[in-house]
Amino acid sequence: MSTESANNGSRWLPRLMGALLLLMGLALLAGGIKLSQLGGSLYYLIAGIGFALSGILLLAQRRIALGLYGLVLLASTVWALLEVGLDWWQLVPRLAIWFAIGVVLLLPWARRPLIGPASKANTALLSVAVVASGACAVASQFTHPGEVFGELGRESSEMASAAPAMPDGEWQAYGRTEHGDRYSPLRQITPQNAYRLEEAWRIRTGDLPTENDPVELTNQNTPLKVNGMLYACTAHSRLLALDPDTGAEIWRYDPQVKSPVGTFKGFAHMTCRGVSYYDENRYVSRDGSPAPKITDAGQAVAQACPRRLYLPTADARLIAINADNGKVCEGFANQGVIDLTTGIGPFTAGGYYSTSPAAVTRDLVIIGGHVTDNESTNEPSGVIRAYDVHDGHLVWNWDSNNPDDTKPLAPGKQYSRNSANMWSIASVDEDLGMIYLPLGNQTPDQWGADRTPGAEKYSAGVVALDLATGKARWNYQFTHHDLWDMDVGSQPTLVHLKTDDGVKPAIIVPTKQGSLYVLDRRDGTPIVPIREIPTPQGAVKGDHTSPTQARSDLNLLGPELTEQAMWGATPFDQMLCRIQFRELRYEGQYTPPSEQGSLIYPGNVGVFNWGSVSVDPVRQLLFTSPNYMAFVSKMVPREQVAEGSKRESETSGVQPNTGAPYAVTMHPFMSPLGVPCQAPAWGYVAAIDLFTNKVVWKHKNGTTRDSTPVPIGLPVGVPSMGGSIVTAGGVGFLSGTLDQYLRAYDVNNGKELWSARLPAGGQATPMTYTGKDGKQYVLVTAGGHGSLGTKMGDYIIAYKLAE
């Protein structure tokens, strides 16, 4: 081979790098011009010029290209440090590609073909820049932005659980008790032995998604353990009784749910979070009081079905089932069934039913219902109804549009349309005689001009009703004139708190907006201060905003978003995210929806959602998994709505808002490459000391293993959908992260103690119980979440300590 041929062959690498840098530089330049016109950072424009010139010089085989590239890389490193400091995940899109190119340019095969003065200054400058950016990457491995490290340092607070008594090894209600604390007094599993947990058994329910199901088919069930059995429901409302030691099926009940249009595809979502349990002997054995008053019809039910389960179905029924054998309790209501559509009026298929378990008390079974968000201004009532727990007759009803008239609705009449609803789980304090309702808002979510006085008073807050009469005893609204879908999705947690003024019966209400409101549950007065803060103004034409919003001093709000907080997998989609940020309206939390498009943060999935929190009443510790994801909300004038536009789910796509002057489009704030536009972490685990109301510890939680095309588990901290539990043994459990794991944590310091890979998404709240063998089990439903995109399945899996 001739010398000329060899030289030509060796020049391909700098030419290739030159062409690549020229294209990259031009892309940055184009985007940088756009960003600068919007008032954003000038970095991309300047860097684009620098990288493009470096590319041109490399194509021309000029050695000075190395020095120029080194200068731009060094300047980029300084800029990145000034913007985000030593935050590894924020440095990656700013420097990773440029660092890698710098390393390649230092290779002999890239340097030797270059021509120009033989000075080593160019290579030295590039070397310094590469070393500097590499050193930043190394140093950032030892920092933990956004995390809090600490330890509770106490095993007991001299407080005891005020929740209703039950055997330690049982889980009798969705939140274990009607107080919704998700706390178990079991202590076999500890931080010292949790590593020994292993799978005890798994079963498959056989309930898998079909082509007739909606996108948002989810498996959010938390099974019960009571009456010597486990009880679990599936997305299609099937109910299974299982042996707690082996998972063997004891009986199964299938209500054969039906859609009025023959398919469930049009349903906004389809799930069953749980069932409710009632035992005729419970109250007598619990406090020695006489049994509840029962009608003759109820007495027959009590004798035939002394232990009952109440199953809500996706076709709006509430069915009473004998917990012993799975047979319908025929004497209850109408052949064992309450038709929840009675008095509701017309609605689209899937537009009304209960996704959550009813609350059960001595005398009542109390239930709300899901109403489809943003469908129209004429949706079904959000009425909450209390039925006799024995014979199923209607005892009272509470409708936020008609709150003072709680006597049972007369036959043939209808409840008010479009009132605020309760789609989540209520909590009950039978000693105080109150039920606490977490209320949603009046749909449409982003259009409030048509809100009723009742909605303006009660929606997006908590309401305490008198158990005997259904009358409101007190209420506290957390979001005034809600335009952001800030439904209270979390079950309130009832706990006795030790304060400077003595022990107080408290209610803790976690909310989507990141505040945890702590009130005296006797009268609704704040225990932790709540301040009314000024908020951005300027709603769309015809609507208005509240001048202030309620913010609790106890909150897990993240910092407000800035252009510097924008992220991406590369500098290019990060730049596009910065452009999007500048184009959207954003003035902080509670920025009103707009025709321009508004950035909503926290987004409508919320910091806290239906998973709520768990509270250890003995340690006075709150354990939780907050999320931080922004959404984009854009109001679309009715005349601009494209014909045939369809929603993807209640939180994505075009939402019709029929009857309002605007439709709305909503979607997560994502880069063109499908990663969030805001920097991680997007999900944490955290603990709060309820003595001091301070965060004890807070750590990133979860990996990208199941969220990217390449299954690499980057520990960025991912969102979680599902609740946590905490035990007297000092171990908390959580399974709702987007990666498919059940994890155990030391609640004193947040250390991850153990994890188990799940065969499908674990977007449900785990539970724990004692088996017939005397062993403590931890159980989780792993069935996936359709709209979150986690793997679907039909698994129930139990774990216990290895022998």
| pLDDT given for residue 164 in this prediction | 81
| pLDDT given for residue 298 in this prediction | 84
pLDDT digits (tens, 9 = 90+) for 583-614: 999 999 999 999 999 999 999 999 999 999 99
| pLDDT given for residue 295 in this prediction | 85
Whether 626 shows a pLDDT value over 90: the answer reads yes
- The number of domains in the chain is 1
pLDDT band, residue 447 (cuts 50/70/90) = very high
Is residue 377 included in any domain, yes or no? no
Q: What would the mean pLDDT of 620-634 be, rounded to a whole number? A: 97
Q: Is the peptide bond before 214 cis (omega within 30 degrees of 0)?
A: no
Whether 8 shows a pLDDT value over 60: the answer reads no
Is residue 111 included in any domain, yes or no? yes
Whether 460 shows a pLDDT value over 50: the answer reads yes
Residues 387 and 409: their CA atoms lie apart, in Å, by 12
From residue 278, alpha-carbon distances to 310, 320, 365 in Å are: 8, 10, 9
| pLDDT given for residue 5 in this prediction | 38
Cβ–Cβ under 8 Å, residues 464 and 473:
yes
Is residue 219 included in any domain, yes or no? no
Radius of gyration of the chain (CA): 29
pLDDT digits (tens, 9 = 90+) for 767-793: 999 999 999 999 999 999 988 889 999
| pLDDT given for residue 58 in this prediction | 94
Is residue 61 included in any domain, yes or no? yes
pLDDT band, residue 291 (cuts 50/70/90) = low
Is residue 585 included in any domain, yes or no? no
Spatial neighbors of 649 by CB under 8 A, at least 6 apart, are 214, 215, 216, 268, 269, 787
Whether 42 shows a pLDDT value over 60: the answer reads yes
Q: What would the mean pLDDT of 287-298 be, rounded to a whole number? A: 71
Q: What would the mean pLDDT of 455-462 be, rounded to a whole number? A: 97
Q: Is the peptide bond before 798 cis (omega within 30 degrees of 0)?
A: no
Is residue 270 included in any domain, yes or no? no
3-class DSSP state of 578: helix
Whether 81 shows a pLDDT value over 80: the answer reads yes
Q: What would the mean pLDDT of 234-258 be, rounded to a whole number? A: 98
Q: How many helices, marked H, and strands, marked E, lie in the chain?
A: 11, 41
| pLDDT given for residue 290 in this prediction | 59
| pLDDT given for residue 784 in this prediction | 95
pLDDT digits (tens, 9 = 90+) for 362-384: 999 999 999 999 999 999 999 99
Spatial neighbors of 247 by CB under 8 A, at least 6 apart, are 201, 202, 203, 796, 798
Cβ–Cβ under 8 Å, residues 449 and 476:
no
Residues 445 and 635: their CA atoms lie apart, in Å, by 11
- Kindly write down the DSSP assignment for every residue of 447-505, as one continuous string: --TT--HHHHHHSSEEEEEETTT--EEEEEESSTT--S-----SPPEEEEEEETTEEEE
pLDDT digits (tens, 9 = 90+) for 321-335: 999 999 999 999 999
Return the H-helix or E-strand segment holding 756.
Answer: strand 752-757
pTM: 0.95
Is residue 259 included in any domain, yes or no? no
pLDDT band, residue 2 (cuts 50/70/90) = very low
| pLDDT given for residue 651 in this prediction | 59
Whether 119 shows a pLDDT value over 90: the answer reads no
Average pLDDT for the chain: 94
| pLDDT given for residue 395 in this prediction | 98
Spatial neighbors of 648 by CB under 8 A, at least 6 apart, are 215, 787
Provide, rounded to the nearest whole percent, the portion of the chain with pLDDT above 70: 96
| pLDDT given for residue 649 in this prediction | 60
pLDDT band, residue 10 (cuts 50/70/90) = low
The parent domain of residue 46 ranges over: 3-140
Whether 9 shows a pLDDT value over 80: the answer reads no
Is residue 670 included in any domain, yes or no? no
3-class DSSP state of 117: coil
pLDDT digits (tens, 9 = 90+) for 495-520: 999 998 999 999 999 999 999 999 99
520 assigned to active site: no
- Kindly write down the DSSP assignment for every residue of 635-697, as one continuous string: EEEGGGSPTT--EEETTEEEE--BTSSEEEEEEE-B-TTSSBSBPSP-BEEEEEETTTTEEEE
Of the residues 87, 485, 543, 794, which is catalytic? 485
pLDDT band, residue 3 (cuts 50/70/90) = very low
Q: Determine phi and psi for 159, rounding to 5 degrees.
A: -105, 155
Q: What would the mean pLDDT of 53-63 be, rounded to a whole number? A: 94
Q: Which two tokens stand for residue 12?
A: 């391909």
Cβ–Cβ under 8 Å, residues 329 and 335:
no
pLDDT digits (tens, 9 = 90+) for 527-585: 999 999 999 999 999 999 999 999 999 999 999 999 999 999 999 999 999 999 999 99
| pLDDT given for residue 4 in this prediction | 40
Q: How many CB atoms lie within 10 A of CB 251?
A: 16
